[in-house]
Amino acid sequence: MRYQYVVILKKHGERATDILSGLLCFFSALCFAFIGIRLFRINAVHGGNGNGWAFGGPSDAWLNIVVAAAMVLGLVVTGIARQRMPTNKVRYRYLLLLAAAGWMLLTPAPWVGALFFILTFLEYQTKRPLEIGFDHDRVVINTLIKQQFDWSVFNNVILKDGLLTLDFKNNRLIQKEVADDDDEDDADEEEFNTYCRTRLAAAQS
């Protein structure tokens, strides 16, 4: 649905989410590598020219090692991308999904994989822009479960100095910082506030 105005709110805690996601992925890679190494076996091979050693293992061992290597490579690529493009958001959801699949299919603790699937969803929600849409008949807060409010439930709605205030008639108050946006097509605060005053007045009549 398109709105007359959409305000994007500043989100906090993304860096903490990135650190936690990276550590969990690295820990998973270590676990997969450890399991893979334990599954390997070293067999003595006797050849015509003397004794030698052959290094081999079951397919599960190789699969654990490959998944661990893929996760480490993914973490390295993600780290390089963060250094080269610090303003861009780094997402770990594909690595978290790989870790979830690895825990469920390659380890004796598949329940850990279920936790990683939940973490993947939470990481997506943390990185998803938090938006509030303003239309002629309603205000919609775009959270996990959308919240819709008629204009009649507000005493005031105002955007001032980068701070959005939603003042409800039931004494509830929401104040959030607005994300910085360099889009030249953005409406200024006065234009937005004029629109809100118009909708509030119409809702009271």
Residue 72 near residue 28 (C-beta atoms within 8 A): no
**8 Å CB contact between 56 and 41:** yes
Does residue 56 register a pLDDT over 70?
no
| pLDDT tens string 123-153 | 888 888 789 999 999 999 988 788 999 999 9
pLDDT of residue 19 exceeding 50: yes
- Residues 7 and 164: beta-carbon distance below 8 Å: yes
Distances (CA, A) of 123 to 6, 13, 150, 171, 194: 23, 11, 31, 32, 36
What would the pLDDT profile of 64-83 be if each residue is shown by its tens digit? 999 999 999 999 999 888 88
Q: What's the confidence (pLDDT) of residue 128? A: 80
Task: Tell me the pLDDT band of 48, cut-offs 50, 70 and 90.
Answer: very low
Fold of the 129-204 domain: PH-domain like (2.30.29)
Question: Which residue type is seen at 136?
Answer: H
Judge whether residue 115 has pLDDT over 60.
yes
Q: How far is CA 190 from CA 14, 62, 149, in A?
A: 30, 62, 22
List pLDDT tens digits, range 23-39.
999 999 999 999 988 88
pLDDT value of position 47: 43
- Which DSSP state fits 153? G
* Confidence band, pLDDT 50/70/90 cuts, at residue 10: confident
Q: Is the sign of the CA dihedral 122, 126, 128, 130 positive or negative?
A: positive
